Structure formats: structure tokens, C-alpha cells
Structure 1
Amino acid sequence: MHKERRLFVDADACPVKKEISQLSTHFPISLVFVASYSHFSIERTQEWVFVDPDKEAADLYIVNNVKEGDIVVTQDMGLAGLLTHKQVYVLTPHGNTIREKDMPNILNKRYLSYKQLAQGNRIKGPKPFTRQDRDNFYNALEELLNHLY
């Protein structure tokens, strides 16, 4: 018997909600989308938790409710940094697995980017999300869920 796992989705700007919903039906996992009230919609089939629209409200909800062995899908590396040391599986919408050992480098790059912005310099934004990114995510999540179950 597997311990009950939950898959939390930092849902406000998540481009792979459909893929997560499709895959989760094949595994005994509880799916929880977390979004701000500003993204409220009555058209939803899974569990949604709506939080205040404050900048870090969804992150705080996830950090306070996640347990070891749960999965979180996020593109927020600050949130990822708070989760990896809790033995939570962190996956980006591009299909990258974030590990504790990766965090110092990731957070350093983030710091340097913010420093450039603060100095008035322009930095490259994210590349457009592609079909390949979507496929990479689907395959990575499927592989992780197959490994866990």
C-alpha cells in the first residue's frame, strides 16, 4: 500500500494543467491546484484551492501543506528552494526535475538576474512555451508517477 501522495500545482501561470489532469487520473494521487482568487473559475473538475492574490500566497499555501514524498509542479525557483529540502519532488512545466543539490546554482543565477534588473539592465525573458516543452513535461511527470507507483 502506497502512502497517499498529493500533487500540488502552482496553478496561476501553469501552462500544463491539462496534461497534469490527464495523467493524474491513471494514478492514486490527490491533485490540488493552488491559485489566487483572481484566477477563479467555476469550470473545474479537480480540487482547487483559492488563496488571496498576494504575491506569495499560493507559495505559502503549498509550503505549509506539502509533505515528504508529495509532488509540486512550479516554475517558481524560490518556491522550489523551499520544497526540495523537505524531500518533495519538484517538477517544472518544462519537465525539469529540481533537486536540492541544484538549488545553490539556480538561486545564484536568479540573484544575478535580479541584480542586473536592479541596475537597469535588460535580461532575456523566458522562451516561448512549445509543444516540445509540453511533451517533455508529460513524459517527465509520467516517468515520475510510474517510478512512485
Structure 2
Amino acid sequence: MLIVDGDGSPVKEEVIRLGEFFQLPVLIVTSVDHYTTKEYPDFVRFIYVDKGADSADYQIVKEIHAGDILITQDYGLASLVLPKKARVFHHSGKEYLPETIDFLLTQRYLGTQMRKSGKRTKGPKAFTKDDRQAFFEQLKKVLQEP
């Protein structure tokens, strides 16, 4: 199954296209703030959760199983599902790995501390059409693996 941490994900449509091509179910977990009436194919399922910083994360941890693929930009969520033997990708196409997740969490913590002390840090760069295509190609390559 392909699972998308849906709040703010710029690659939902790409994941749906790949789910259709590879005949995989797609689950999008998002807050009720992002409710949509748009019609989706039967292999796409939405779970809407209450507002709250970690509501979607808790639902994803509950739903994910070994072998599933999660798309998220949340390092904390990635660290919770990697022990469940799921694969986790950022929408840039980069894979979160057990051997690098602690470093990423430490970076996030240090960035938070810097911002709390009044220092400015750079935000993410704008997500481009090329970024979207790179993600699509990377996930397609992963799904083609034996």
C-alpha cells in the first residue's frame, strides 16, 4: 500500500498515478481541514482525522504495515514507522533510512532551538515541476524493484 501524509503533500496526484499503474491501494491521511468532495478512483481511500499536530501521524502509525510505502516530510513520523519495516520517502524522492533518521531528528531539534532563541533559519525552497517529476521517477523506480 502507498500511504500519503496528506496535509500539505504536494505529490498526492503523482502517488495516485503510480498506485493506478502498479495496481496498489493508496491511502491518504489528512485532517478534516483538507476535506475534499473531489471524486477519486476506488483504489484511493481517505481517512480524515481531527485537527491537531499529531492526529494524522497517530493514524498513519496505526494503519501502516511492513512493506508499505509512506510519503511524508515529517522526520518524527518517519522515525516511528521505520521500525515497522515500512519504507519512507520525502516528497523530494529521498528515502529516510534507519541509519540516518537520528541525524535528521537532531538537525530538526537544533533548528527548533535556534528559532526559539530568535535566530532565523531558511525555510524550504518552492516545490517545482521538476521536483514533482523527480519524485515521480524515484518512486516509480522503487516500485519496479523486485
- Specify if TM > 0.5: yes
Partner of 2:91: 93
The SS at the match of 1:107 is helix
Letter in 2 for 1:103: I
Letter in 2 for 1:82: L
TM alignment of 1:1-149, pairs within 5 A? 6-45=1-40, 46-148=44-146
Mapped to 1, the partners of 2:14 and 2:101 lie a distance apart of: 26
Mapped to 1, the partners of 2:129 and 2:99 lie a distance apart of: 29
Pair 1:72–1:58, CA change in 2 (3 A):
same
**Unaligned 5+ residue runs, structure 1?**
1-5
Segments ≥4 residues shifted beyond 2 Å? none
When normalised by structure 2's length, the TM-score is 0.94
Aligned alpha-carbon RMSD (Å): 1.0
When normalised by structure 1's length, the TM-score is 0.92
The SS at the match of 1:34 is strand
Mapped to 1, the partners of 2:11 and 2:136 lie a distance apart of: 8
* Aligned residue pair count: 143
Q: Do the aligned residues in 1 keep the contact of 2:2 with 2:15 (CA within 8 Å)?
A: no
Mapped to 2, the partners of 1:77 and 1:61 lie a distance apart of: 16
